Amino acid sequence: MQESAALFSFLQANGIQSMQQLHEKIADMNSRYYDLRGKIVKAERRVAVLTERGEMWEQYNQYKAVHKQLAKVKPEKRELFEQRHSRELILYDAAARYLKELKASGEEITPKEWQREIDLLTAQKQVDTIDMKAMREELKTVERLRKAADQLTRQERDKPRNRGPER
């Protein structure tokens, strides 16, 4: 009885008068759910790209001083310096190469903008995730209602027809 009442309430609230309209409503809800899910995934990918850029920028700045020191080292002590600081120099070179390629591709090196975009995307993703969870719960409820409606339809269809007394 409760499911029937909930079904009737949902159908009435959404102006649904046929099983076809119910199925269309569910398809529309699923479509909106997966669109939102796609938006969240896209934001996550963008955050990952921007985070990598920020990390490479930090790495570049962290080891820039060691690279500058290398330029000042006398030729006879250069090999020893490179051995002692090989890790830092390798990390600096990797970051410098990454940033150079980024710049060559037409991107600007804007760490503050990257962080602002990360913050914005993260906040929007949190809102979207809450919306998506609510949509998922609504979809579960509507699916249960659809099953109840299908069952009611089958029961009505399978009821024996009362044709009056047989002769």
Question: What integer pLDDT is reported at residue 36 of this predicted model?
Answer: 97
pLDDT at 34: 96
* pTM exceeds 0.85 for this model: no
Q: Kindly write down the DSSP assignment for every residue of the chain, as one continuous string.
A: -HHHHHHHHHHHHTT--SHHHHHHHHHHHHHHHHHHHHHHHHHHHHHHHHHHHHHHHHHHHHHHHHHHHHHHS-HHHHHHHHHHTHHHHHHHHHHHHHHHHHHHTT----HHHHHHHHHHHHHHHHHHHHHHHHHHHHHHHHHHHHHHHHHHHHHHHHSPP------
Q: What is the mean pLDDT of each run of 10 residues along the chain (167 residues)?
A: 72 84 90 96 98 98 96 94 96 98 96 98 97 92 83 80 55
